[in-house]
Amino acid sequence: MKLNKISALLLGAMVVASCSDIDDQNPESGKITGGQVQETTDALSSRLDATLNGMYTMAGSPLTVFGIDNDRADDFGFISAALSQDLEGADMFSGNNTYNWFSAACQYSTRNPDYANPYARYTLPYRQIGVAEQVINSINVETADAKGKAQAGQAYATRAYDYMALAPYFQFGYATSKDQPCVPIIGKNDANNNPRATVAEVYDVIVADLTKAIELLDGYSRTDKTQIDQHVAYGLRARAYLAMGEYAKAAEDADKAMQGYTPASIADVSVPAFDNINESNWIWGFGMTNAMHNLSKSNGK
């Protein structure tokens, strides 16, 4: 499963709605009418909706890193990276056989520079960060309406989540290594001269983004659990504080994240579970569709 040749990675822009709805506005008599202003505002909001949907879909989109020609069974978006993280922990295991595409994680060999696993786990968060920044840079939160603020809040939280996936993987923990080089922060420096930021600097961005997200998501009611709301942002900030050793702050945020949710009972976990985001104990999740699953050639395509 080694990746012997790695081509240069470019942060790809997401394909969103057509530009014609905004760019083809023709002022009549040299003036833009109120109706045209509203149409433009609505079109911008629709574009951002499309970009946000694309950002969330990246969580489980198959074959996005290595492509359909490689047809890797461990290439299905951010969820595959999350599985690798879980398998490197102490309480998850998988089969010792040739069908185990996550054996590198089980054997703690995912830091090898010529392996596909670390390449994917570096690529996926940065791609999603790129899309989140498209949303952030498109919205003036000082003048935005409630919907625009919620869109920006979701993007800020997503960017923080991505950096939280990168930081502990490419450097040791905050307590021992906060001044050591970690990963680059996008937008901080010139793209061609952007050295690794320290662990502390990365977590500064994470906490600042989540604090901003909590503010912007106040009062926002999501339509389903795939979207980030204020509860999710509190939960993510609790995780960040936990990693930083700020235990009192982590506990406070965790309590806020859990408001309105019921932890799983012993009876709930006595049967097969943890596979449905609609369960009461899940705050945030992503549901892969059959169409996404079937995209891979190894699954019938």
DSSP string computed for 131-189: HHHHHHHH--TTT--HHHHHHHHHHHHHHHHHHHHHTTTSS--HHHHTTSB--PPTTTS
Euclidean distance between CA atoms 224 and 50, whole angstroms? 16
Residue 51 has pLDDT above 80, yes or no: yes
pLDDT above 90 as % of the chain? 45
pLDDT of 259 higher than 90: yes
Give the pLDDT confidence score for residue 266 in this predicted structure: 93
Q: Are the C-beta atoms of 203 and 161 separated by less than 8 Å?
A: no
Higher pLDDT, 45 or 129: 129
pLDDT higher for 300 or 63?
63
**How many CA within 13 A on the CB side of residue 252?**
5
In SS3 terms, 64-75 reads as CCCCCCCCCCCC
Exposure b/e, 240-262, CB count within 10 A at least 16 = b:
bbbbbebeebbeebbebbbeeee
Phi first, then psi, for residue 198 (nearest 5°) are: -75, 165
125, 162 contact by CB (below 8 A):
yes
Over residues 13-49, the pLDDT tens digits come to: 333 333 444 444 444 444 434 444 444 445 567 788 8
CB 285 within 8 A of CB 277: yes
Mean local confidence (pLDDT), 107-132:
84
The residue-averaged pLDDT of 221-230 equals 95
pTM: 0.81
At 35, which amino acid appears?
G
